[in-house]
Amino acid sequence: MHIENIEDENNIVLETIDTIFYWHNTLQYDLVINEIMADPVPSVGLPEYEYLEIYNKTGYTISLYNWNLIIGDKTKVFPLKNIQPEEYVLICSELAQSELNVYGETVGLLGSNDLINAGRELALRTYEQLTIDTINYTLDWYQDENKDNGGWALERIDPENTCGRLSNWKASVDVSGGTPGKQNSVYVSNIDTSAPKLVEIKLLSSTEIELTFNEELLYQSASDTLSYLLDNSLYPTTVFLSGEEQNIIQIAFQNSFGIGEHNLKILNIEDLCSNSTGTFDTTFTYYPGFEFDIVINEIMLDVNPEPNVLPPAKYIEIYNPTEVNINLSGWSLLVNDDIAYFTDLQIDAKSFIILTDEDDEGLFLNYGTSYGIFSESNLGSSKGQISLFNDNNLLIDYLNYSSDWYDDDKRTGGWSLERIDPSNYCGLNSNWLVSDDYKGGTPGSINSVFDQNKNIGSFELLNIEILSSTKLLLQFSKNIKEGQALNTDNYFVDNGPGNPMFVSFSDTSRATIVLQFATQFSDAYIHILSIKNLLDFCENPMINPQKEFTYHLIYPEVAYAEINKMVKIIFSEEVEIVTAQQTGNYVTEPDLGTPFKVYKHATKTNEVYLEFDIPFDNGANYTIHVKNVKDLNGNSINPIELFFSYFEPKHNDLVINEILFNPKNGGVDFVEIYNNSAFPVDLNHLKIAKRDDENNIASAYLLSDVNSLFLSGKYLAISSDTSITKTNYPAISYQRFVQLNSLPSYPDDKGTVVLLFQDTVVDEFSYSSGMHLALISDANGVSLEKLNPDSESSNPQNWFSAAESVGFATPANRNSQFTEFSTENMDEIFIEPEVFSPDNDGYDDRVFIRYKFDEPGYVGSVTIFNSNGQLVKRIANNELMAVEGSFFWDGLYENNQRANIGIYIIYFEVFNLQGKVKMYKEICVVATKLR
């Protein structure tokens, strides 16, 4: 350009100027992002700086002035800069320019960590905001896991290929780690002329499918609902393009697919290079799954002790016995109270899948297909229920399992339960055995106990539960075949109700049927239910087709204090919401009056909650007068009084009284607690726990998920298998047991048991194996018993090994080593008994040294001498004494040898800081029983 005769504002003529400028109508992909050094450390040859390389493919010089470089959410603006034809320009930090200039032209735009190895979206735009090139690189683009952790650049394979993503990029193969400022080391002609190919078609639900192609697709064509036609008549309602490479299409239709094969026509889907699929057809088969199409085939409930070979992880194995592949997406698995959902999973015909915790999925890779469905498994080791539902919430299979199904020698853990015959749908527990495989189970393969096991026994009605004045729930001994089971003519109740209006299976069992009648049952009348024509799934008939039941008019059964301002009332059946929530129907004495709010539970429809303005007094008893509440059929209760008490236990109100932490072979741990208060306590508020290595409370398990009162002065044993505990420690009678799915882990050497009321610690006991009587050579199966519930749990002197005469433990009974403590009318030092026999028979096994001072602050020592004056045992040495308390001697010397028969001297010396000193000498006798 030539410029002359130009005047400024002062009429001065400027000098003549000849200059050059460049203009090119820049089009998309004239410049391309050609190389990325996202992570230069550690270097394999290049300077340790991030850079981007852009390349001018044209024969024209292009000005970059005011262009934008987009990096994630950041926008960088180019200064005055030209890029010559077929030139490379490096975009880096200003600091890096001095070292990267040797490789070519540079522009200092990058900040620290603008580029990241994991990936980021990059775009190059003109000052008019026309996008010239854009990419969204990821770690996968390196295509070499040895080069994706620093030091190597990503290089574009072919700058002329502007539509390839992953397929047109890879890690540099240059020895220096990259090729800044020159042709890429991976350069080769790589033009995409191939149409996208369908790789997979997958069912997501009864209305959704997913298509996966081999490359990124053009959004406009792939997301167009008119690009897909189902069965030559139906277009989808929505289409969604997804996936890191934008190659996955999720298609949803308005109505559910019919069972069977379907045709999907795909019309002209394009990739980014405008290569089109044309029109082609593909097929898929929809099969939703019906009852027992998938069966629960094996369960591992307890991995403590660990299996011989298998991973130490719980699992559920499912099996597809059909001839078709079944998509499990949208299916659900209910384990006790926890529900989990399947996503993106298919089980092939005649195949197994091992269901585990998410963290354990990788442990089973050598055994077959594994799927981590649980965040944490809720499989209880003693009993529980597993239910499998399809995506339409149809029950496919279920299992009510019990540890009673195990052999005694495999009950303790490390062995799975296996289904004998996958085609036997009616056998229930008779179709299950403990695994016979040396590994502990057979996940992912045919069961070790597999056999033909056709069930030919009759079934019976086990129980009738009255749900309301017009509804019954029937529990059968086997799974019932659907056909005749849903025929109302097959059920009849005498004295009025007749045939039911409706019959249905329960949601979680095919052995449970619900009958709904139009006419109410008679109050206090013994009705007879007659049943006919029912068969189980093995075509076996029913025996004893008649059963009696008695209905009683609705009434409130019991009331429980939930918190200090709330009471729960449980009625005998579902209540009508209006009368149930009228506050005037409940009056509470003393002092509380009517509640300010009453509400019916949303799912437990026979429960009503009363909230009061005034908190309950701790340890107080209350009376609720209830009236006018009705059932769903309009029957009103007779006015009635209910009683409840409110009690928040404090320290020593509830105590840990016995623990078995090292069970005998085949046994289980147990913990016994005692209600040392004058009030009942709801087990629904109590938890058993432990302390972990950091001394934090851990593994806190609720003793009951329903309200259940633990009465004053009673013992309660807690075990993961009460049948084993009772078998190992038989007694004439027991007070009470609670069975939990699992107990906290109490190690054999030492640990801490914690008892909580809600989340408050009310007692805890730190035990060790060294607390056992040293004469016991094998402490397996021997419990530690508290000498008296009133004594402090934290004092090791208050614990002793259970007596041999009772079998070394007394769960849910008074302890064999129970000792009555009384300091009334005694001297400061009192010995009891004076003659004892340390033979662990539960009778006078120790001598107690009791003390009671008139003031606190004494420090004391207790030592035992034989008749020759030799020190044989030091009981206490300069310990701070309580005002009253006790020690005991178990008849063992310092070297744990049993004391010889004879007379011994107990020397007790105390002093305080005021200089007061007291010394006591008492006599005791070690004796033995005559044989």
702-758 pLDDT per residue, tens = 999 888 999 999 999 999 989 899 999 988 788 899 999 889 999 999 999 999 999
> Do 65 and 91 belong to one domain?
yes
Please list, in sequence order, all residues whose beta carbon lies within 8 angstroms of the beta carbon of residue 8, skipping any fewer than 6 positions away: 14
% of the chain beyond a pLDDT of 90: 68
> Do 626 and 736 belong to one domain?
no
> Do 54 and 155 belong to one domain?
yes
CATH assignment of the domain containing 497: 2.60.40.1220
pLDDT class for 193, splitting at 50, 70, 90?
confident
Please list, in sequence order, all residues whose beta carbon lies within 8 angstroms of the beta carbon of residue 760, skipping any fewer than 6 positions away: none
Distances (CA, A) of 826 to 819, 831, 855: 16, 10, 15
> Do 500 and 393 belong to one domain?
no
- Please, which residues bridge with residue 881 across strands? none
Distances (CA, A) of 602 to 137, 567, 609, 786: 51, 16, 11, 44
> Do 110 and 155 belong to one domain?
yes
Distances (CA, A) of 182 to 50, 53, 87, 105, 188: 17, 9, 8, 11, 14
pLDDT class for 191, splitting at 50, 70, 90?
confident
Among 410, 419, 412, 403, smallest CA distance to 438 is for 410
Q: Does the residue 3 lie in any domain?
A: no
DSSP assigned state of 483: H
CATH assignment of the domain containing 129: 2.60.40.1260
Angle at 54 between CA 51 and CA 60, to 5 degrees: 150
Decide: helix, strand or coil at residue 39: coil
Q: Residue 821 has what pLDDT?
A: 62
Q: What is the mean pLDDT of residues 808-822?
A: 84
DSSP symbols for 692-745: -TTS-EEEEEES-SS--EE-TT-EEEEES-HHHHHHHS--S--S-EEE-S-PPP
Q: Does the residue 257 lie in any domain?
A: yes
pLDDT over 90 (residue 880): no
Q: Residue 637 has what pLDDT?
A: 93
- Please, which residues bridge with residue 70 across strands? 75, 123
Q: Does the residue 456 lie in any domain?
A: no
d(CA 480, CA 472): 17
> Do 278 and 414 belong to one domain?
no
Q: Does the residue 9 lie in any domain?
A: no
- Is the omega angle on the peptide bond into residue 833 within 30 degrees of 0, that is, cis? yes
pLDDT class for 244, splitting at 50, 70, 90?
confident
Q: What letter represents residue 819's amino acid?
A: T
Domain that holds residue 41: 31-171
Q: Does the residue 516 lie in any domain?
A: yes
Q: Does the residue 851 lie in any domain?
A: yes
pLDDT over 70 (residue 22): no
Q: What letter represents residue 648's amino acid?
A: E
d(CA 456, CA 461): 17
Angle at 775 between CA 773 and CA 777, to 5 degrees: 105
d(CA 40, CA 150): 6
CA torsion sign for 716, 720, 723, 728 is negative
- Within 10 Å of residue 175's Cβ, how many Cβ atoms? 8
pLDDT class for 503, splitting at 50, 70, 90?
very high
> Do 681 and 802 belong to one domain?
yes
Q: Residue 1 has what pLDDT?
A: 60
pLDDT over 70 (residue 844): yes
Q: Does the residue 11 lie in any domain?
A: no
> Do 252 and 156 belong to one domain?
no
Main-chain phi, psi angles of 404, to 5 degrees: -65, -15
Q: What letter represents residue 576's amino acid?
A: E
d(CA 306, CA 298): 17
Q: What letter represents residue 880's amino acid?
A: L
Domain boundary among 498, 528, 550: 550
DSSP assigned state of 536: B
Among 559, 572, 673, 577, smallest CA distance to 616 is for 559
Contact by Cβ (8 Å): 813, 715:
yes
Domain boundary among 550, 581, 610: 550
CATH assignment of the domain containing 901: 2.60.40.4070
d(CA 814, CA 849): 23
Contact by Cβ (8 Å): 177, 126:
no
Q: What letter represents residue 48's amino acid?
A: E
Contact by Cβ (8 Å): 808, 863:
no
Q: What is the mean pLDDT of residues 406-420?
A: 88
d(CA 665, CA 412): 8
Contact by Cβ (8 Å): 417, 301:
yes
- Is the omega angle on the peptide bond into residue 305 within 30 degrees of 0, that is, cis? yes
Q: Does the residue 767 lie in any domain?
A: yes
d(CA 142, CA 153): 8
Average pLDDT, the chain: 91
> Do 802 and 674 belong to one domain?
yes
Q: What letter represents residue 566's amino acid?
A: M
**794-816 as b/e, with b when 16 or more CB fall inside 10 Å?**
eeebbbbbbbbebbbbbbbbebb
pLDDT over 60 (residue 808): yes
Q: How many domains does the chain have?
A: 7
- Please, which residues bridge with residue 756 across strands? 687, 761
**pTM for this entry:** 0.58
Among 595, 589, 579, smallest CA distance to 628 is for 579
Domain boundary among 806, 839, 863: 806
> Do 42 and 133 belong to one domain?
yes
> Do 753 and 769 belong to one domain?
yes
Pairing of strands 352-357, 370-374: parallel
pLDDT class for 567, splitting at 50, 70, 90?
very high
> Do 130 and 227 belong to one domain?
no
Q: Residue 826 has what pLDDT?
A: 61
- How many CA atoms does the CB half-sphere of 274 hold within 13 Å? 0
Main-chain phi, psi angles of 792, to 5 degrees: -70, 130
Q: What is the mean pLDDT of residues 222-250?
A: 92
